Amino acid sequence: MLHNPHNATDHPPAMPVTGDQQLLKQLNRMALVRQVSAQPGLSRAALADVLGLTKSTVSQLVRELMDEGWLTESALLVTGEVGRRATPLHLDPGRLALIGAEVGVDEARVLATNLLGEVLDSRIIDYDDAHDPASCIRLTAQAMVRQARRLARASFPGGARRVLGLGIGLHGAFDEHTGVLRHAPHQGWRNVDVRAQVEHHFTGTVLQGLPLYMQNEANVAALAEFEFAGEAVGDPLIYLSISYGVGAGIIVSDRLLTGVNGFGGEVGHAILQADGPRCSCGRRGCADALIGLATLLGDEAPSYAALERLYKRAADGAPSTCAAVAAAGRQLGILLNNLWAGFDPMAIVIGGPALRLGDALIGPARATLAGYADAAMLTPPELRTSHFGADAVAVGAAALARYRLTRPLDLQTMERRAVRAA
């Protein structure tokens, strides 16, 4: 029986045996990895009980996973029982690596993590021309190759590591089935075949042929919290990203909700105000147009320098800026209420560059959400900020790789969808 490690009280139905023994073995291997990730320190016997596998099967799979660098043992536990003492198992932080990249609006960020999501190395890449997708993608892919080469060196801190998989987070509506970024409004990109370009730049390098996954930036940032936060993060979980625009990553029952075409979570285009200001999508009153930093910049074109000037005006108490930020915060509170009503999450995590505005933005949002909760006589979900700060999307891209690799059935479904899309 396979088991959902994020909800230890559930008992999912038995997986039908299809005759594909290799798939069944991989399902069980990755179920072990996910369970140890969710409950570090479990013994082989405890894993057998939780997952409904025989002790001999678990022992064999654990031995393989330890040889490959997925798992490691710690000191023996004295249980007081007669026989072999229990040996706690943990994810091995020292031998494998994941590479994650954010193709941002103003710059790219490339980093490596271990299996626990701890950042091993991080680089920021300046673009030559932020409006040229081919150039930005090339620079990002080349930086990922350089990152892999650094990881392979014996001189790398902690020793050489093997790269398991790669992830990329993209700003805009990304079609995971085809690898095409349909629209990135704050970059001016449309219908960019990101996957084909990245794979072209990986050809003949150490990254050629490695598993490569891509998703919208809010989705991967949600996975950073879900996979790597190191505590009971809650499920359902919503990650709300506030940058030039607004997006959400939504996880329900251990699954990232991406929608039919991969565009799930585009809450920036939820209507908050009938006949409100016009949004870049053509609608009026979207969350993007009421909350996004592009709106708070006014007549200034989105850029890193423009954002720094906005943060300074807010910190200096400029009246017009503070009023605009507070108004955006109240609209944010409305959006939070709508997400709460729609998904009843255990937690909503807020991330993105807008966090630099601090309580000037989040304070009005909390007050608005609390007002709705009081009116309904309900307790609102936990509201907190991202664990990973400016690295949230790049760490999330690495988390996307771990998330996909440890869910083999998801990969089969994705492959079938890609074939149909082609």
CATH 1.10.150.120 applies to domain 21-91: no
Distance, first Cα to last Cα, the chain: 34
Q: Which CATH number is 96-220+392-421 given?
A: 3.30.420.40
Please return the burial class of 377, using the count of CB atoms within 10 Å of its CB with bins 0-12, 13-18 and 19+.
Answer: exposed
Please report, to the nearest 10 degrees, the dihedral formed by the alpha carbons of residues 215, 221, 222, 227 taken in order.
100
Question: b/e map of 283-296 (b: 16 or more CB within 10 Å)?
Answer: eebbbbbbbbbbbb
Distance of CA 26 to the CA centre of its chain: 23
Residue by residue, DSSP assigns 234-262 as: -SSEEEEEESSSEEEEEEETTEE---SSS
Helix (H) or strand (E) holding 166: strand 162-170
The pLDDT value recorded for residue 18 is 46
Listed in sequence order, the residues at least 6 apart from 223 whose beta carbon sits closer than 8 Å to its beta carbon are 215, 249, 251, 256, 396, 399, 400, 403
Nearest-angstrom CA–CA distance, 93 and 372: 43
Nearest-angstrom CA–CA distance, 232 and 81: 30
Q: Pinpoint the residues of the chain covered by CATH 3.30.420.40.
A: 96-220+392-421, 234-386
pTM comes to 0.89
**What is the DSSP pairing of strand 96-103 with strand 162-170?**
parallel
316-360 pLDDT per residue, tens = 999 999 999 999 999 999 999 999 999 999 999 999 999 999 999
CA angle 314, 325, 234 (to 5 degrees): 110
Q: Tell me, what amino acid is at 135?
A: S
The pLDDT value recorded for residue 248 is 95
Q: Pinpoint the residues of the chain covered by CATH 1.10.10.10.
A: 21-91
234-243 pLDDT per residue, tens = 789 999 999 9
Pick the CATH number of 234-386 from 1.10.1740.10, 3.40.50.300, 3.30.420.40, 1.10.10.60: 3.30.420.40
The pLDDT value recorded for residue 419 is 65
